[in-house]
Amino acid sequence: MLELRNIDFSYEDSRVLRNINLSINKGEKIALLGDNGAGKTTLFLCMNGVLKYKGDILYKGKKIGNKELRKKVGLVFQEPDVQMIATTVEREVSFGPMNMKISKDEVKDRTDRAITQLNLEEFRKRAVHYLSGGEKKRVCIADIIAMDSEVVLFDEPCAFLDTRNSLLLEKILNKMAEQRTIIVSTHDMDFAYRWADRFIIMEKGSIAADGGIEVFDTDYVEKPMLWKLMKIQGMEDYSRYPRSIEEYGDMYNG
């Protein structure tokens, strides 16, 4: 669905992305992992058509420019205040569709649907800076849902969220993944392990590993708790590794 070919990017004189090649398939749930400064945010900004990169990005087999890319690929920024530009929740969520050459009715329809889906009705007329961190994050997701992007990138979605809001966000991610291709950058290995079906690890601007849970055999990132537990128990077959506490319980209860 999305193919990155030889993507290179430099901020002035420092080269941040080095020859990135990736094929993203429809419906995948991907976790993008790697230390701070590895280039994850920069890669997202290239994939979303915000930065001017070297190399090619193909959408459904055809080369695609930055303007088109911005319509197909939505980015939920790590810091909501960087993403939000309008005054009220309603204006913020309708801003994207309003710039999309669609009818007024369609704009209203999409805005209403996104606001309902993210449970934001009571905040519709409220100024965005009077929202909590969790509410702001939901507005940023509503922005992207209203744009109807097929691929959605989340840059550290749980940063600044408390446990309750992180769990809510995980539910939202699961629901969104039923219809969209999702890539989430995260430092939370336990979340990545239970949520994703593919793991891409970046190191110093390059792809260091890309695959299933066997990537945790490398030393690029921390290992998830359940993964470590299975290793201690001597389990060799990765396909039998439980991906959640519930699945772990099921292993012992039949």
The nearer residue to ligand ADP, 39 or 242, going by C-beta atoms, is: 39
Rounded to 5 degrees, φ, ψ at 76 are -95, 110
Binding mask 42-81 for ligand ADP (x = CB under 6 A): x---------------------------------------
Written as six digits, the tokens of 223 are 């290992």
The nearer residue to ligand ADP, 113 or 187, going by C-beta atoms, is: 187
**How far is the C-alpha of 183 from the C-alpha of 44, rounded, in Å?**
9
Is 124:93 a contact under the CB 8 Å cutoff? no
Compute and round to an integer the Cα radius of gyration of the chain: 19
Compute the residue count for the chain.
254
181 part of the interface to ligand ADP, by CB under 6 A: no
The nearer residue to ligand ADP, 13 or 236, going by C-beta atoms, is: 13
**How far is the C-alpha of 169 from the C-alpha of 140, rounded, in Å?**
12
126 DSSP assignment: S
The nearer residue to ligand ADP, 82 or 167, going by C-beta atoms, is: 82
Closest separation in Å from C-beta 58 to ligand ADP:
22
Closest separation in Å from C-beta 205 to ligand ADP:
7
Residues in 16-45 at the binding interface with ligand ADP, rule: CB under 6 A: 16, 34, 36-42
Closest separation in Å from C-beta 179 to ligand ADP:
26
Written as six digits, the tokens of 252 are 């012992």
Q: End-to-end alpha-carbon separation of the chain, Å?
A: 39
Closest separation in Å from C-beta 16 to ligand ADP:
4
Closest separation in Å from C-beta 39 to ligand ADP:
5
The nearer residue to ligand ADP, 37 or 211, going by C-beta atoms, is: 37
The nearer residue to ligand ADP, 120 or 140, going by C-beta atoms, is: 140
**How far is the C-alpha of 4 from the C-alpha of 44, rounded, in Å?**
12
CA atoms within 13 A on the CB side of 86: 16
Instruction: Say what angle helices 104-117 and 133-147 make with each other, to 10 degrees.
Output: 140
Closest separation in Å from C-beta 51 to ligand ADP:
9
Residue of 129, 41, 31 whose CA lies nearest to 78: 41
Closest separation in Å from C-beta 6 to ligand ADP:
18
Residues 6+ positions from 26 with CB-CB distance below 8 Å:
1, 150, 181
The nearer residue to ligand ADP, 173 or 201, going by C-beta atoms, is: 201
Rule CB under 6 A: which residues touch ligand ADP?
11, 14, 16, 34, 36-42
